[in-house]
Every structure is written in structure tokens, then in C-alpha cells.
């Protein structure tokens, strides 16, 4: 992940990992769904059990022959013809005595064999419950001995429900009671009890199975997506590194060692992109070699015709005073300068590639250079300050640094309005030598602060000596700065010495050798 001046920059791998992180919300949504399902089942079960106990009361009211002879005796009797699985029914007389008992509660939760997916779903939900504990909103009160209130309320003529609690204060069963009415008179109550785990365990197993299958599919998708993303990201990184190795620090194609890999394993759009980039770099390399040789070829091929043309014009001038001959001589001189400028840029590039860097005292060299320049170019009104210690060493080439200074000062002289001298400051800032050249004059157009260092970029057609410019001076400055592992930039200046000012400053930063 990178942060540039354009804002936050996320790699493809980082964005995909963020997507996977968002997908991890799905198990928590399933957990939330499981809780809601428990709530729905609790409410539905309470409603169903309430209706069940009321229906049983109606049945017993209409079939008094099943129990009427024994209810007054207070002796409980089991009614074998009523089958209540995993639940128990009590018939209580108006004296709060149990006369009938139907069914039997299991002592513990019945163990049933479940498959892998169901077990996985249960484990997942229980694991999430340890991190996100919850309490179910039981729709009715809880009590350790709910039967006392249930019987009392039912004998008063109301249907009521409560949960029985265990020693850990957790509901273990749901109890419902309703009055037993004969000929408009309450003669007893019916109480129905059913254990919590038997209320909806069968339906929950289906849900747990669904959760387990979903978690297994989710895990496979996540693993597959991780492997695919890692592979795709690594291929993109390799492609980026291969392209970077093809170019030098100056942005030129050094050697085309870019591998063109098109395998059956990765026969996709990315392999096509690699192939197309490889073909493009081959053509670009050939075109670069052609452009690199073009100035030398032009200089060699045009040199002799230009000399003959110059001699012919000189002879014509001796026998004629036609002013057009002077114009022709001037145009010929401009043509020679253009070819010389092109050759100079090419020769400097070649020299930088073959030059072996060596340490030299940059402060001593700059002091001598600026003293000589101030003496030779009095019309520049040069004002310089060089505070670099003599012991500071720069790894590079002193002659190239002089070339860099020549181009910067020449550019400053061409654009200066001569209101203040051309100012040069050379100082040591941390581990860098900073050289700044400032001239008063027009501002650089907006957006040209970096563009002025591109080759063949110029904002003028003629300088003070009326010589044609190709915009290669500052391009050479950048080449030399890059060779010394430094950088160069330009900026408009609006204040100088705490006073309003209008001008441009060029700054070169060069790392010093501390070894």
C-alpha cells in the first residue's frame, strides 16, 4: 500500500484482502440469523403449547368418562391411551391435588447421531457465542418452581405459561396451565410441561446443517480466492519488476532481457499483456537505437555539405554585397548549432554511461568554478555563496557538475530581467548538497515546473544572442543529476529576503559520500 500526492493508493492484493475481510461478516450474519431463529421458535413453541393445553382441556371436558370417577379421590392415575412424547400432563383438582399424570419428561437431552455438517454448524455457532454472548428474550417469566403459580392462576380461570429454571438459572422446560371447566364451574386445572431441547431440536439440526454446509463452501471459496489472488498478484509484481529492469535510472532501455512467457498454465489476459508489452519494448528499443544514432549520422552526413556551402557563401560575399548572403550565413550558423546541440546531448549520455564515478571535493570545485564564471561573465551580475566544507566528498564526475552549472546559469541569464543579480547558493543539508540558482523574471507557466526538464522542450525561440534553442540544456541538467543519484526541480519564487519578488529558482540535490 502506498500513499502518493494523489491520495491513498491500494494495490490489487490489498483491495482483494479488504474484500475478503468484508466477506467474513457472513458468519456473523449467520450467527445473527441463528439468534433470530431461536427467538421465532420460542414464540411459536409458546403459542403452540398454549393451544395444545387449551385443546386438551376441551377434550377432557367433553370426555368426562375418562377421569370423572377418580378426580375426587386425589389418587393419580396414568392414562395410557394418551401419548405425549417428551412431555408430561398433569390434571389437578380444585384442592390442588394431582389426579392424573400423562407422559414423562426425559432426564437429559436425547443423544442423536448427527452428520459432520450439523456438528460443524453447532460448533461454529457456539464458538461465535463465546465472542458475542447473547440472551434470548424468553416471552414468559422464569421460576425454579413455576407449578405453584401456574396452578393458582389456572384455578382462578386464566391460562398462563412459565419457564422452569435449573441451578444455573437457565430455562430447562416450558410449562402451560389452563382451567378445567365442567358445566361452567372450575373443577381443576391442566398443566403441560415440555423440555426446552425437545421443543425445536429437530428443526435446529436442519439449520445447523445448513450453517455447516455454508461454512464449508465459504472456506473453500476463501482459500481458492486467496490462492488465485496471490498467484495473480505475484504475476503482476513479476511483470512490473521485469519492466523496471528493462529501463535504466535515466528511463532508457538498457538491455531487452524481458522474458516473453506464454505457458499453458497461465494462458489468459495477463499472459497476453506480457506478450504485448514484450513486443512493444522490442519496437521501442529499436526506435530508441535509431534516434540515438540519428544525431551522429546527421552530423557526419551533413558536416561536409555544410562546409562546402559555407565556403561557397564566403566566396560569393567577396564578389557581391547582396544582404541576402548575410542572412544565408546566419541561417547556416544556426543549422550548425542545432546539429551541435543534438550531438552534445548524445555525447553526454554516452559519456555518463561509460563514466566511472570517483570521489572529489565538491565544495572546492564549486568555489573555483563560480569564481571563474563571475570573472568571465561580468554581464550576468553573478552573486554566489558557497558554504560547503572542503572535506565533503561527492561521488561522480566534476566535469559533468561543471556542465550542469553551465546549463543552469546560461538558462538563468537568458530569462533574467536583470533587476537583481543571478543568485547561486551552495550548501550542505544533512546528507545532501543543495545547489540553487535563482533569477528574477517571468514565472514558469503552470505545469511547466517538471516539463522543462524534458528533452526538446523550450519556451523560447531565441535567446539574448539570437541563437536557436532545442530545449536540451535543462534536459542535460537532469541527466547529470540522475547520474549522481540526485534530483532537480524548478519553482516560482514570489518573495526574496522578505520582500515581494518575481522569479524562478532551480534546485539540485546531490547525495554526498559519507564513507
Q: Residues 445, 457: one domain?
A: yes
pLDDT tens for each residue of 352-370: 666 678 899 999 999 999 9
CATH code, 371: 3.30.565.10
Q: Residues 180, 32: one domain?
A: yes
CATH code, 38: 3.30.450.20
Q: Residues 81, 179: one domain?
A: yes
Q: Residues 202, 270: one domain?
A: no
Domain endpoint, select from 354, 383, 418: 354
Would 32 be classed as within a structural domain?
yes
Greater confidence, 430 or 137? 430
Angle between helices 201-246 and 269-319 (to 10 degrees): 20
pLDDT higher than 90, residue 337: no
Please count the CA atoms within 13 angstroms of the CA of 463 that sit on its side-chain side: 16
**Residues 23/31, Cβ–Cβ less than 8 Å:** no
Minimum mean pLDDT range among 15-29, 465-479, 481-495 = 465-479
Could you tell me what percentage of the chain is helix, strand and coil, using 3-state DSSP and rounding each to the nearest 5? Answer: 50, 20, 30
Q: Residues 191, 333: one domain?
A: no
Greater confidence, 80 or 507? 507
Would 215 be classed as within a structural domain?
no
Burial class (CB in 10 A: 0-12, 13-18, 19+), 374: middle
Q: Residues 504, 382: one domain?
A: yes
Residue 159: count other Cβ atoms within 10 Å of its Cβ: 18
Would 236 be classed as within a structural domain?
no
Would 242 be classed as within a structural domain?
no
Q: Residues 336, 420: one domain?
A: no
Domain endpoint, select from 311, 327, 354: 354
Q: Residues 344, 369: one domain?
A: no
Please count the CA atoms within 13 angstroms of the CA of 242 that sit on its side-chain side: 18
Would 425 be classed as within a structural domain?
yes
Domain residues for 203?
16-63+73-107+114-210
Q: Residues 316, 373: one domain?
A: no
Whole-number Å distance between alpha carbons of 18 and 246? 32
Band (237; pLDDT cuts 50, 70, 90) = confident
**Residues 175/138, Cβ–Cβ less than 8 Å:** no
Would 241 be classed as within a structural domain?
no
Whole-number Å distance between alpha carbons of 269 and 9? 24
- How much is the pLDDT for 363? 92
Query: Is the full-model pTM beyond 0.75?
Result: no
Domain count, the chain: 3
Q: Residues 272, 398: one domain?
A: no
Q: Residues 368, 479: one domain?
A: yes
Would 164 be classed as within a structural domain?
yes
Find the Cα–Cα–Cα–Cα dihedral 7, 10, 15, 18, rounded to 10°: -70
- Mean pLDDT along residues 370-375: 90
Q: To which H or E segment does residue 40 belong?
A: helix 25-62
Q: To which H or E segment does residue 504 belong?
A: strand 499-511
Domain endpoint, select from 335, 354, 373: 354
- How much is the pLDDT for 72? 47
Would 129 be classed as within a structural domain?
yes
Q: Residues 206, 261: one domain?
A: no
Amino acid at each position: 500500500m502506498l500513499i502518493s500526492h494523489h491520495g491513498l493508493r491500494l494495490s490489487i492484493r490489498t483491495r482483494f484482502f479488504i474484500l475478503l475481510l468484508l466477506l467474513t461478516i457472513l458468519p456473523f450474519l449467520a450467527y445473527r440469523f441463528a439468534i433470530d431463529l431461536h427467538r421465532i421458535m420460542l414464540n411459536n413453541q409458546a403459542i403452540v403449547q398454549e393451544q395444545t393445553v387449551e385443546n386438551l382441556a376441551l377434550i377432557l371436558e367433553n370426555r368426562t368418562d375418562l377421569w370423572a370417577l377418580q378426580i375426587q379421590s386425589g389418587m393419580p392415575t396414568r392414562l395410557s391411551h394418551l401419548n405425549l412424547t417428551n412431555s408430561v400432563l398433569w390434571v389437578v383438582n380444585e384442592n390442588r391435588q394431582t389426579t392424573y399424570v400423562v407422559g414423562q419428561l426425559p432426564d437429559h437431552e436425547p443423544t442423536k447421531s448427527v452428520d459432520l455438517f450439523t456438528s460443524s454448524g453447532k460448533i461454529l455457532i457456539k464458538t461465535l457465542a463465546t465472542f458475542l454472548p447473547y440472551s434470548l428474550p424468553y416471552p414468559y417469566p422464569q421460576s425454579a418452581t413455576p407449578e405453584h403459580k401456574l396452578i393458582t392462576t389456572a384455578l382462578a380461570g386464566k391460562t398462563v405459561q412459565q419457564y422452569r429454571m435449573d441451578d444455573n438459572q437457565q430455562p430447562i422446560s416450558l410449562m402451560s396451565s389452563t382451567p378445567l371447566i365442567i358445566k361452567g364451574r372450575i373443577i381443576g386445572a391442566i398443566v403441560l410441561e415440555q423440555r426446552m431441547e425437545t421443543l425445536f431440536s429437530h428443526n435446529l439440526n436442519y439449520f445447523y446443517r445448513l450453517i455447516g454446509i455454508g461454512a464449508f463452501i465459504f472456506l473453500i471459496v476463501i482459500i481458492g480466492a486467496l490462492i488465485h489472488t496471490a498467484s495473480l498478484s505475484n504475476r503482476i509484481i513479476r511483470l512490473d519488476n521485469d519492466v523496471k529492469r528493462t529501463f535504466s535510472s535515466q528511463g532508457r532501455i538498457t538491455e531487452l532481457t524481458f522474458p516473453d512467457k506464454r505457458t499453458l498454465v497461465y494462458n489468459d489476459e495477463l499472459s497476453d499483456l506480457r506478450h504485448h508489452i514484450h513486443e512493444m519494448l522490442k519496437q521501442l528499443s529499436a526506435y530508441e537505437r535509431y534516434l540515438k544514432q540519428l544525431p551522429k549520422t546527421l552530423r557526419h552526413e551533413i558536416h561536409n555539405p555544410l562546409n562546402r556551402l559555407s565556403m561557397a557563401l564566403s566566396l560569393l560575399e567577396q564578389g557581391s554585397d547582396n544582404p541576402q548572403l548575410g542572412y544565408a550565413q546566419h541561417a547556416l550558423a544556426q543549422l550548425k548549432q542545432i546539429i551541435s546541440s543534438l550531438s552534445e546531448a548524445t555525447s553526454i549520455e554516452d559519456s555518463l554511461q561509460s563514466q566511472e564515478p570517483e570521489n572529489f571535493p565538491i565544495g572546492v570545485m564549486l568555489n573555483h568554478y563560480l569564481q571563474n564564471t563571475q570573472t568571465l561573465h561580468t554581464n550576468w551580475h553573478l552573486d554566489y555563496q558557497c558554504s560547503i566544507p572542503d572535506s565533503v566528498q561527492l561521488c561522480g564526475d566534476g566535469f559533468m557538475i561543471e556542465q550542469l552549472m553551465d546549463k543552469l546559469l546560461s538558462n538563468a541569464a537568458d530569462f533574467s530581467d536583470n533587476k537583481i543579480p543571478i543568485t547561486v547558493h551552495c550548501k550542505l543539508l544533512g546528507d545532501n548538497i543543495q545547489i540553487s540558482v535563482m533569477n528574477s523574471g517571468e514565472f514558469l507557466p503552470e505545469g511547466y515546473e517538471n516539463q522543462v526538464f524534458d528533452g526538446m522542450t523550450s519556451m523560447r525561440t531565441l535567446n539574448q544572442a539570437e541563437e536557436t534553442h532545442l530545449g536540451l540544456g535543462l534536459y542535460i541538467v537532469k541527466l547529470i543529476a540522475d547520474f549522481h543519484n540526485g534530483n532537480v526541480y524548478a519553482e516560482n519564487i514570489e518573495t526574496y529576503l522578505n520582500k515581494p519578488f518575481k522569479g524562478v529558482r532551480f534546485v539540485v540535490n546531490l547525495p554526498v559520500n559519507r564513507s
